[in-house]
Amino acid sequence: MKGNIIKYAQDNIDTDVIIPGQYLKVHDYAELATHAMEGLDPDFHSKVKEGNFILSGKNFGCGSSREHAPIALSHSGIKAVLALSFARIFYRNAVDGAFLLPIEIDQDAYDGISEGDEIDIDVSANEIKNLTKNQTYKMKPFSEIIGKIIAAGGLFKYKPDQD
């Protein structure tokens, strides 16, 4: 999966800035997407492209348990968020709804990947290739159950009896 990076070099990006509270009653996902990251980056909707990735620091998606956050990001074109760590509720909302991939990275990857870099994520090899800088990084592997939920296309499509 290839795309370009939009980097937010900070920790604790919460769901209130990912999708501000006044938009929680919006049920049209395309409309919701136009407000993604509005609380942090009002120009996000004009720079995001289909297939982009967000890169962030620790505890991405902290705050409330709103599933609107991964929905808004996904429908804006984001295919994965790479972060040093995730709030668990954001992580599970992203995986369970099959909205986007929450990819945990280490400090070397965080430091080595810059705004605009083109990267290629190989989930099966747990590898991230920075095509812009010709560098390769490891990603934290998904647990077995998370990998199965992702492969099934989300929690509602996952059938544990077929393992």
10-residue averages of pLDDT along the chain (163 residues): 97 96 93 96 95 98 92 98 97 96 98 98 97 98 95 93 64
Residues sharing a CB contact under 8 Å with residue 28, sequence separation 6 or more, in sequence order: none
Q: Regarding the domain with residue range 2-157, which homologous superfamily does it belong to in the CATH classification?
A: Aconitase, domain 4 (3.20.19.10)
Residues 40 and 83 sit within 8 Å (Cβ to Cβ): no
Residues 38 and 25 sit within 8 Å (Cβ to Cβ): no
Predicted local confidence at residue 163, as pLDDT: 56
Predicted local confidence at residue 82, as pLDDT: 98
Residues 105 and 140 sit within 8 Å (Cβ to Cβ): yes
Strands across the sheet with 101-104, in order? 101-104, 80-83, 53-56, 2-8, 118-122, 127-130, 135-138
Predicted TM-score (pTM) of the model is 0.95
What residue type is assigned to position 57 of the chain? G
Predicted local confidence at residue 160, as pLDDT: 85
> Residue 126: which region, alpha, beta or left (left: phi > 0; alpha: psi -120 to 50)?
left
